[in-house]
Amino acid sequence: MQKSVDPPVTVLVTRRPKPGKERAFEDYLAGITQAALQYQGHMGTNIFRPSKPGGNYRIIFKFDRRSNLERWEGSAERAEWRAIAEQVSEPRQVETISGLEAWFTLPACAINVHPPKYKMALVVWMGVFSLVTLLSSLLGPLMSAWPRLLQTIVLTALVVVCLTYAVMPLLTRLFSGWLYASKDQK
């Protein structure tokens, strides 16, 4: 049965290489990254290495749809890579997110840390306002003869695509100090 909702998803994996297995762990990362690239809907992998030896690696996999992630997770190839990972690293932590939280994922943070909702709302509003203003100015004259509903469909589709792939990642980095300010920094 087809799912009615099949959102984009981000998987955050935290792993630490076993002592003496760092090189094998790097080989594992290269291999699983290449393997994931072959799967439909894979949108990229980011690997954030620890700043100090013996620290945690943060690996971020992005898929365009949950169903494509599930296909990858259920594959024999991924099972083989998981078996290798168990040999060269400590047990993993995994978090799968979608929706607004996926826009606010900073790799340097603990995987379960998200900014307060009011901060997320304000940054999303800044992105939406900027894009609607810019796209309305640029495309308004070109679409002026179109029916209002069609104008709205095109404009909102462009806003969502731009937010997801360009604007929100940029705004998240620009405002990371404020979004993720710890209580002791205030």
Structural domains of the chain ordered from first start:
9-100 (3.30.70.100), 117-185 (no CATH)
Asked if residues 68 and 39 have their Cβ atoms less than 8 Å apart, the reply is: yes
Whole-angstrom distance, CA of residue 156 vs CA of residue 170: 19
pLDDT tops 50 at residue 111: no
In 3D, which of 163, 164, 157, 159 has the Cα closest to residue 62? 164
Which secondary structure element, helix H or strand E, spans residue 147, and what is its range?
A: none
The neighbouring-strand residues paired with 15 are: 57
pLDDT tops 80 at residue 123: yes
Longest dimension (CA), the chain: 67
- The alpha helices in 144-174, defined as continuous H runs, are 148-162, 168-174
pLDDT at residue number 95: 80
pLDDT at residue number 43: 84
Lowest-pLDDT range of 7-16, 80-89, 95-104: 95-104
58-72 average pLDDT score: 89
pLDDT tops 60 at residue 160: yes
> Is this model's pTM higher than 0.95 or not?
no
pLDDT tops 50 at residue 172: yes
Asked if residues 111 and 93 have their Cβ atoms less than 8 Å apart, the reply is: yes
DSSP 84-142: HHHHHBPPPEEEEE-THHHHT--TTS-TT----HHHHHHHHHHHHHHHHHHHHHHHHHH
Average pLDDT, the chain: 84
